[in-house]
Amino acid sequence: MKRTMILPRQIGAALAPIPLLPLLLFLLVLTILVSVTLGRYDLSVQQVALILADNIVPMSEPTWQPVQEVVVEQVRLPRILAAVLIGFGLAISGAALQGLFRNPLVDPGIIGVTSGAGFGGTLAILLGLSGTFLLGVAFLFGMGSIFLVKLLSTVRGRTSLLTLVLAGVVISAFFSAAISITKLLADPFQKLPAITYWLMGSIASSSYTDVLLISAAVVPASFAVFLLRFQINILSLGEEKARALGARVVLVQWIILIATALVSAGVVATSGIIGWVGLVIPHVARALTGADHGRLLPVSGIIGAIYLLLVDNLARTVTTAEIPLGIITALIGVPVFAVILRRVHSSGGWAND
């Protein structure tokens, strides 16, 4: 671990004089504004800024056409807000899970929550459910898979790093099979295409209702995780040490697991399976802030938001057809995972557990 972890710290120290969080927030706002201008209908950043500002401070005489306002506020903005919320939520849950399991290779996808929630979502679509019901079913199955993974990987009160990842693989495989069965049962002309495209992860058709649904999951979950920032620090020392320091290990673990399942369910319910964000982003953020979760969590969240927004911009502009978001995040995430795995392995990362 030494070789890989010292260097990022030094970069962080060099950047320390610049207030990181305001800088990132500014970048996020800028990315949002630029993202709104992208697409077939041409708009300038200035126009977008004016149209959006109009909602807060109404102007007497608009300098834009009504159709421009519709493009900005009804067509593009919901999707962009969805990307921001999803990126934020996934990155924060990834950072929290990595701290909780003291394992840099963990994210909601790896430990099986995503596929559990994915199965819940598929089942819900098959049954004709949508909205909050879809979210509810996805959440239940997400929780179920977390519960199973925890059960499988905990022996005599100790959760080993390697078994945790393996248990995640096992549970993911199980739910993938379950998803396949659901697909097999689905009506091949209407529901099957819907399920298949939805599973690849896309926010192309996001509405304000979807944005509300995602916020309902991401906002309280992120808040809960942030409140536990110091407890996550302590838990990352290992369960025994955390107990000796007086931390309420089981309670903190469950709050974080529930929060993570909620984020995954919210994302899955509205946008399908978008993986790997929670794995990659915390590493980038840790390089900037160091390991303390008080600094790491917010920075992870904002970088995650910017990242997913950029990925979504790629998804909708690279080709004339829409590329599902989940495909791009996987294409970027998998090589990064491979590199981290090599580093952890070469520095004897599994040796302690």
Partner 1 sequence: MIDVENLAVDRGSNRILEDYAFHLEAGSVLSVLGANGVGKTTLLASLIGLLKPACGRISIAGRTGFVPQLFEVPFSYSALDIALMGRARHLGLFGAPKRRDYEIVRQNLALLGIEALEKRPFNALSGGQRQLVMIAQALSSECTLLILDEPCAALDYKNQDRVLDLIARLRADHRMTIVFTTHMPLHAVEVASHVLLMKSATDYLFGPVERTLTAENLSDLYDLPIGKAEFAGLDKHTFAPLFGSSGSTFHV
- The residues that touch partner 1, with contacts defined as CB under 8 A, are 1-2, 5-6, 8-9, 13, 99, 102-104, 156, 227-231, 233-234, 236-237, 240-248, 251-252, 286, 290-292, 294, 349, 352
Specify the residue, 24 or 297, whose C-beta has the smaller distance to partner 1: 297
Task: Classify 201 in phi/psi space as left (phi over 0), alpha (psi -120 to 50) or beta.
Answer: left
Of 178, 99, 164, 111, nearest to 142 (Cα)?
Answer: 111
> CA-to-CA distance for 19 and 249, rounded, in angstroms?
33
Quote the least distance from Cβ 182 to partner 1, whole Å.
37
Least distance from C-beta 27 to partner 1, angstroms? 24
Comparison of 178 and 255: residue with beta carbon closer to partner 1: 255
- As measured in angstroms, the least distance from the Cβ of 245 to partner 1 is 4
Q: CB of 17: closest distance to partner 1 in angstroms?
A: 14
Name which of 225 and 330 has its Cβ closer to partner 1. 225
Nearest approach, Cβ of 218 to partner 1 (angstroms)?
Answer: 19
Closer CB to partner 1, residue 99 or residue 326?
Answer: 99
At 283, the amino acid letter reads: H
Q: How far apart are the first and last CA of the chain?
A: 14
With respect to partner 1, which residue has the nearer C-beta, 99 or 272?
99
Alpha-carbon separation of residue 340 from 77, 329, 346 (angstroms): 35, 16, 10
Strands (E), the chain: 154-155, 158-159
Residue with Cβ nearer partner 1 (151 or 237) = 237
Comparison of 127 and 244: residue with beta carbon closer to partner 1: 244
209 CB-near residues (< 8 Å, 6+ apart): 131
Backbone angles phi, psi at 106, to 5 degrees: -105, 140
CB of 228 to partner 1, least distance (A): 7
The phi-psi region of residue 308 (left if phi > 0; otherwise alpha if psi is between -120 and 50; otherwise beta) is alpha
**Closest approach of Cβ 21 to partner 1, in Å?**
15
**Which are the contacts of 258, defined by CB distance < 8 A and separation ≥ 6?**
143
Of the candidates 280, 253, 353, 256, the residue with the CA atom closest to the CA atom of residue 105: 280
